[in-house]
Structure 1
Amino acid sequence: MSIETRLLSLILSALCCANAWAIQRCELNGESVSPYNGNTTAGKSGVMRCTDDDGQVRRLDQTLRDGRLVGPVVMVLADGERREYSVNERGNRDGVARTFDAKGTLRKEENLEDGNAVGVQKNFAEAGHLQELHFSAGRRTVLTIAWLADGSLTELRCAAVTLVPQDREVCGHAGRASEVTLYREAGKPVGTVSYLQGQLQRLAVLDREGRLVRNEELKDGRRIKRVFYASGKPRSEADFIERDPNSREGREGVAREWAESGQLTQETTWADGFEQRIHQWYLNGKQKLRQQIRRDGRNQERTTESFWDNGLPAAVNNERNGRLQGWQKYFTETGVLAREDEHGERGVLLRRKHYGVQGVFEREERFLEDGSRI
């Protein structure tokens, strides 16, 4: 439900004497009527005008058809903002909707279908120039172009096909890749983008000091995204095969993360849309974790080898669907086996074996369902 529809509902359903938004005076075809008394509007057609000099909505012109609120609406708020739209028989906004500020400047123009945005949507600056253009399809915004007053671009997200005259050149629908500079404000670039037939080819994002923060490129069928520290050193990188958005194939590639010192801290390998391997490292360069993930239908099995910061093993854990299962091993910082736990269905702990400082078996505990030991 739109903001206007909710606001209108509040107005028409509230009690006059109790609600500050209540419309106090309403007239239809020269007769006094009340939106709270259906008998006064039953079967009537025309424009019902309601006014309230003290309310948030100062004026409301609502079209009635055979006693039903259907058709054009004009709403004027206390700050002078004016909204014009139409309501269908379902009570949803339908058709072209416009919003004007107190000076009468058009600030928003929407195309709606049963309350949902469809096609071109426009936002205008206070000075009157087109500031943002969006194109909506299937309840998604598939195109966005935003401008400064001098016509330079501040934002650009393209669709696979040309949708409006303004996207032809900048989105690369003219037969060649575009080269576009985006600006944070006049004279201050925020980065550059390049599109070919609506597909992003390159992207570079700068901070306010002009330093590279993030970049992205499509190269040899792979999309590579990088994020950088303020020092310019790499912070993360994702290198994946570029898939058709409509393809059922999942993510495939590698993602990496680094500390600012330059030490690689994590590497994740993806295939068929799922994580396959995860490796982690301490800042001293020693291995921290090594994880292998396998899938069997809807089930996921994960084996995790953890290490102390001296490189010696700390634990070996087996999981199934996020719960420990089977035997788990735990080691001291010297790499000696200290304990083994056995987990059954639903991850319930069944048995625990204790080992001495030399790794020699000492004793075993068994656990009941309530956690008590025998």
Structure 2
Amino acid sequence: MQRLSALLLLALGTCATGAHANIRCEFNGKSVNPSNGAETAGLTGLLRCRDENTGQLQREQELKDGKYLGRERFFDREGKLTRERSVNERGNSQGRVAEFWPNGQLKREEFAENGGTVGAVRRFDANGRPERLSFHAAGQEQFAIEYNAAGQPTRLQCPRASVLPEDRKPCGLEGAADTLLYTGAGTRAGQVRYDQGRLLLSTEWTSDGVVAQQMLYEEGRRVHRSFFTEGGKSVLREERIFAPDEPQRFLRDTRGPLHSLRRFGSTGQLIEQHGYANGREVLLERWYLNGAARERSTMTGNGEATRIQRELRDDEGRLRRRELLTAEQFPTGAQQQFHANGRMAQEDRYTAPYARGRTRLEARRQWDESGKLMADDTILEDGSRQRKAGGLDS
């Protein structure tokens, strides 16, 4: 509607400003300047504007008592109808609004209520084949389906209740239905499944015909999966499972609290996993590409009281470090490092958080691979060490 209004203003402006001096407007055979209210005052009937050089009709507008009210029609340079509508007392579109191709075929049709689109909007190509069908109500587009030149659907958006006969089958309003979607060139692009207007499954394919993305409901949760291509096959890259929504979000909505997040390597092996509870992360696990455990972190508490217990391992799965962190990632409490044989190598102790959540190292103990204590130090506030005189293994 905005596009049609802009074209109308351009056409009116062309005649009013005299940008094309060869346009002549007449009313009952008398020359009239349509932008001069004094010349149109009190007139009732049809104003016609023609190209003086060709005599082709360029515009028709209905006048009622000097006001533009009723039918408007616009033509191209060859005199072929390009668009038509009716306007109300406010100058806004009212009723049928239509555009046409140069060959006379209907290009676009909609219905307006005081300038706002209501009901069905249909768009066709120059051969009369449907390109798009939609339905508008309450200022929103509630249903839309688009087609390529072969009549195959390329896009589908469904309402929860039928608004047009064309929505009943593809939107699953007569029972769950799968619909294949295609590109403009006719290759398969995706698949959607609707049941009673609710989108339950959405799958997208690459130009090579392998799955690139999938969204579906499983056990009442939205599941979003993305894939990459490896050796001509689709390999899962990431999976996001959302917590059950109340009120329920649309399937394609990427917002909302998560239940879990998993990432995968090039051969499909799990390399990272996140767990969530009540909208916050409570577990993080990572693996090396060889399958060995790499990291495990658990999160407890809320806000400033959050604590992260983390274990880090080498690529053979051996524990190398264990640490306790604050929400700001500052170390607190015991931080432990281990030798390759599993014995403790070093233990640092940090204070509880103080100003701005910061902590300070206050003690350090070190052992060799046999378990012999090599150092037992107190760390003073200026960073200097105070080694205990006794207590070391002999």
Same-fold call, TM cutoff 0.5: yes
- Where do 5+ consecutive residues of structure 1 fail to align? 295-299, 319-327, 344-350, 364-374
Structure-2 separation of matches of 1:133 and 1:330: 60
Residue 237 (structure 1) aligned to one of 231, 236, 239: 239
Following TM superposition, by how much is the alpha carbon of 1:242 offset from its aligned partner in structure 2, in angstroms?
Answer: 5.5
Deviation readout 1:30-74 (Å, 9 max, x if unpaired): 2211122110011212222234579xx982222222222222211
Residue 195 (structure 2) pairs with residue 196 (structure 1): yes
Within 5 A, what are the aligned runs for 1:1-374? 2-13=2-13, 20=19, 24-52=23-51, 59-78=58-77, 82-174=82-174, 176-185=175-184, 188-231=187-230, 232-240=234-242, 241=244, 243=246, 251-258=256-263, 260-261=265-266, 262=269, 264-265=271-272, 267=274, 269=276, 271=278, 275-277=279-281, 316-317=326-327, 329=330, 342-343=355-356, 360-362=380-382
Question: Which letter does structure 2 place at the counterpart of 1:135?
Answer: F
Following TM superposition, by how much is the alpha carbon of 1:14 offset from its aligned partner in structure 2, in angstroms?
Answer: 6.7
Q: What fraction of aligned residue pairs are identical, expressed as a percent?
A: 27
Following TM superposition, by how much is the alpha carbon of 1:78 offset from its aligned partner in structure 2, in angstroms?
Answer: 4.9
Structure-1 separation of matches of 2:215 and 2:73: 46
The count of corresponding residues between Structure 1 and Structure 2 is: 333
Asked if structure 1 preserves the Cα contact closer than 8 Å seen for 2:179 and 2:191, the reply is yes
**Residues 330 and 243 from structure 1, CA distance in 2 versus in 1: closer, same or farther, beyond 3 angstroms?**
closer
Asked if structure 2 preserves the Cα contact closer than 8 Å seen for 1:158 and 1:198, the reply is yes
Following TM superposition, by how much is the alpha carbon of 1:130 offset from its aligned partner in structure 2, in angstroms?
Answer: 1.5
Structure-1 separation of matches of 2:57 and 2:361: 81
Q: CA RMSD in A?
A: 4.3
Structure-1 separation of matches of 2:134 and 2:74: 24
| Farther-moved stretch of structure 1 (147-156 vs 162-171) | 147-156
Asked if structure 2 preserves the Cα contact closer than 8 Å seen for 1:12 and 1:22, the reply is no
Deviation readout 1:130-164 (Å, 9 max, x if unpaired): 12111112222111122344443222222111222
Structure number with greater Rg is: 2
Asked if structure 2 preserves the Cα contact closer than 8 Å seen for 1:338 and 1:357, the reply is no
**Residues 227 and 270 from structure 1, CA distance in 2 versus in 1: closer, same or farther, beyond 3 angstroms?**
farther
Structure-2 separation of matches of 1:93 and 1:198: 31
Q: TM-score when scaled to structure 1?
A: 0.71
Following TM superposition, by how much is the alpha carbon of 1:88 offset from its aligned partner in structure 2, in angstroms?
Answer: 1.9
Question: Which letter does structure 2 place at the counterpart of 1:85?
Answer: R
The alignment partner of 2:99 has SS state of strand
Q: TM-score when scaled to structure 2?
A: 0.68
Structure-2 separation of matches of 1:89 and 1:173: 40
Following TM superposition, by how much is the alpha carbon of 1:26 offset from its aligned partner in structure 2, in angstroms?
Answer: 1.4
Question: Which letter does structure 1 place at the counterpart of 2:35?
Answer: Y
- Where do 5+ consecutive residues of structure 2 fail to align? 314-320, 338-346, 365-378, 384-394
Question: Which letter does structure 1 place at the counterpart of 2:120?
Answer: V
